Amino acid sequence: MKTEKAGPGKKKESELGVSSIDSDYYGKMFASSEMAEIFGDDGRLQAWLDFEAALARAQARLGIIPEDASRMIQQKARLEFIDQQEMQEEFVRVGFPILPMVRQLAKAVGPDAARYVHWGSTTQDVTDTGAVLQFRKALDLVEGRLDELCHVLARTAELHRDTVMVGRTLTQQAAPITFGYKVAIWLAEILRHRERLQQVRPRVLVGQVAGAVGSNATLGAMAADVQRETLRELDLCAPPITWHVSRDGWTELAALLALIGGSLGKIAREILTLNRTEIGELAEPFIHGRGASSTLPQKRNPITCQPVVAAAKMLREKASLSLDVLIQENERSAGPMHLEWTLLPEAFVILDGALKNLLSILPGLVVDKSRMIANLDLTRGMVVAEAVMMGLAPHIGREKAHELVYDLCKKGLEENRRLQDVLLEDSTITAHLSESDVRSLLDPANYTGMCRDMTDRVLGLYRAALVADPTETETE
């Protein structure tokens, strides 16, 4: 490990990451550079400095600190004036992150303005409000990715609105559906996540200037004005009461990130399942050499879906951990702050990596219609046995129709024959259904129910939410 003394505007040389999300080797599999930049050391420190600059602007406007001092603090509250190596060394000694930053900023502004740096504030004001500034950027990035995902899913659902395939329940073939319907289910879920993301913003994008126990006694009668003006500078909401030990907003955010991750994992898992050799209906886009086995030359592994599924599970654990942070004592709790330093930043990074991975797959997703057709006929017509039952039910009753078709399916399986042939040999069937009726009932395309209508309905919701002119579709 190299350690080099860094002057103002420099930082220490990066060390090898231990976690997969910040590893030089594994990192690009789980994280995006855009989200890593938001939550990296530079992004975090600049958010803290932005808080200090806003605090100084607000306090100068209110006549609490001199205008000259405020201007100097604003000018120097930038990374280039901070010795990050020296700051980290002091952090190791003192154990709290903000005091070293305050001292660095005080050194940068000079003795006259130094006395007004961090005036009336406390560590948690800076770490919480700084984190919220990072969350806002991260939410914008996630929302953009979700929008892109909606566009891709909508195009795919529209394209495959009429592509008939097997619907499966409990790992078994059940009844026909359309692939567009399957994708529209994914799209509807992502649209709901977009709504949740927009709804959570007012509860998360809230800062605070509250002092050590949240009473803001250090600022006296000007406390409310300082908080209001500081947060106005940062374009954040002001809370009705201090939230040092009220972390429900951040816990809700962690849960939302896990919800989104779960949906992404479900999509990736479905692609993995339908990519099985024995099914072969979907596949990741082919890139020469990608997914190659180290020993089996014939393999083309679905390599990009796997970290998406893993990310969903990691995000679930982040949501679970965030619930523990809710339990705090007194006016400042010992321990939960340290959990939060990693919890949400890592959750955002993991989620964005999953989004980026999925977005690298879906636009070029290989949909093998011929395998879908072949799989529909795998059971020799029995995938639409329910259609025959319902066609016969008006004549002999549903229960009797179910028992009869069940027995005929059993006969077909035992004799390895097509269901149509077995049906047309039965006198009860032929007494009520013509050969033409039986053929029509056994056509999978005739038994997809409302799949197309529901797909269209979701596409309408998509256009209303994301297409500038709903009369023009993004999917054409």
Which residues are designated catalytic? 293, 332
Q: How far is CA 265 from CA 12, 131, 136, 270, 368, in A?
A: 37, 27, 24, 9, 22
Instruction: Return the closest-CA partner of residue 138 out of 346, 361, 313, 340.
Output: 346
Q: H or E stretch including 46? A: helix 41-61
Q: How far is CA 204 from CA 138, 181, 248, 336, 421, in A?
A: 12, 34, 9, 18, 63
Q: How far is CA 363 from CA 140, 270, 438, in A?
A: 22, 16, 39
Phi, psi of 243 (to 5 degrees): -120, 30
Instruction: Return the closest-CA partner of residue 188 out of 91, 265, 286, 263.
Output: 263
Residue 292 near residue 242 (C-beta atoms within 8 A): no
Instruction: Return the closest-CA partner of residue 359 out of 262, 258, 468, 268.
Output: 268
String of b and e for 359-386 (b: at least 16 CB within 10 Å)?
A: eebbeeeebbeebbeebbeebbbbbbbb
Q: Is the dihedral of CA 241, 243, 244, 246 positive or negative?
A: positive
Tokens, residue 435? 């050969």
Q: Which residues pair with 178 in a beta bridge?
A: 164
Q: Is the dihedral of CA 11, 16, 17, 20 positive or negative?
A: positive
What letter represents residue 2's amino acid? K
- Calpha distance 382→420 (Å, rounded): 9
- Calpha distance 434→436 (Å, rounded): 5
Instruction: Return the closest-CA partner of residue 225 out of 49, 57, 46.
Output: 57
